[in-house]
């Protein structure tokens, strides 16, 4: 039913698309980009403009304190899990729709580790961090493809290990670290002004 190791490749698409391969690929790319933009917009709206977004941030900072303030952490954790799983499912659907193939190799361990590495590389706890991490890590992955698949994965793994050891918050940690230094500097200046005054 699923094609075994060959996967599912003969599934339908939107009717009315041109038969020529290049215009068809361009329209498919545009449709995928539009659906991704709508999904990201929905995620941003939920995370920044709703009570759920405020609850997500409170739970991230201190779950016990959030629960003591009356936030039902179980409900909001399930909501966060459902929202992220829905977006991951949307991403998988769009990928299958774009490449016109669903096979067991699509969900290989290398692909899964690359996706997790993108989130770690960019920085957990932000929205722009994993997106930037995905762009950079995929670029590194594709740029090193000429050295061979095994060595390519080793090089990407080394990059992820360096980031986990030296930058545990990823690329987003660089920005947060700078913000913390600025806050400390401002606090020190304020304290010095109080002592002088």
- Are 1 and 79 found together in one domain? yes
In the chain, which stretches have pLDDT less than 70?
1-2, 5, 9-14, 148-149, 175-197
Instruction: Answer yes or no: do 44 and 123 share one domain.
Output: no
Give the tokens for residue 188: 């020190």
- Structural domain range at position 153: 108-197
96 CB-side CA count, 13 A:
19
pLDDT digits (tens, 9 = 90+) for 65-94: 889 988 899 999 999 999 889 888 888 888
Could you tell me if 8 and 100 lie in one domain? Answer: yes
Same domain as 100, residue 115: no
Q: pTM surpassing 0.75?
A: no
Residues 159 and 62 in one domain: no
Q: What are phi and psi of 51, to 5 degrees?
A: -65, -30
**The total number of structural domains that make up the chain:** 2
Q: What is the pLDDT of residues 136-164, one digit of tens each?
A: 888 877 777 777 667 777 777 787 788 77
Helix pair 109-122, 128-143: axis angle to 10 deg: 130
- Which of 72, 104, 136 is a domain's end point? 104
143 and 51 within one domain: no
Q: Are residues 179 and 86 in the same domain?
A: no
φ, ψ of residue 69 to 5 degrees: the values are -85, 5
């Amino acid at each position: 039913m699923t094609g075994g190791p060959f996967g599912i490749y003969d599934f339908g698409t939107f009717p009315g698309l041109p038969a020529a391969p290049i215009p068809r690929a361009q329209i498919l790319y545009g449709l995928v980009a539009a659906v991704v933009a709508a999904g990201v917009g929905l995620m941003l709206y939920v995370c920044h403009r709703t009570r759920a977004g405020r609850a997500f941030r409170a739970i991230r900072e201190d779950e016990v304190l959030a629960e003591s303030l009356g936030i039902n952490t179980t409900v909001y954790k399930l909501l966060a899990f459902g929202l992220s799983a829905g977006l991951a499912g949307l991403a998988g659907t769009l990928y299958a729709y774009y490449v016109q193939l669903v096979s067991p190799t699509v969900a290989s361990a290398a692909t899964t580790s690359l996706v997790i590495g993108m989130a770690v590389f960019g920085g957990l706890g932000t929205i722009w961090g994993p997106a930037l991490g995905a762009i950079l890590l995929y670029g590194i992955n594709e740029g090193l493809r000429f050295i061979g698949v095994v060595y390519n994965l080793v090089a990407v793994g080394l990059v992820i290990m360096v980031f986990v050891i030296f930058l545990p918050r990823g690329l987003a940690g660089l920005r947060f670290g700078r913000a913390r230094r600025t806050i400390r500097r401002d606090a020190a200046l304020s304290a010095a002004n109080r002592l002088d005054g």
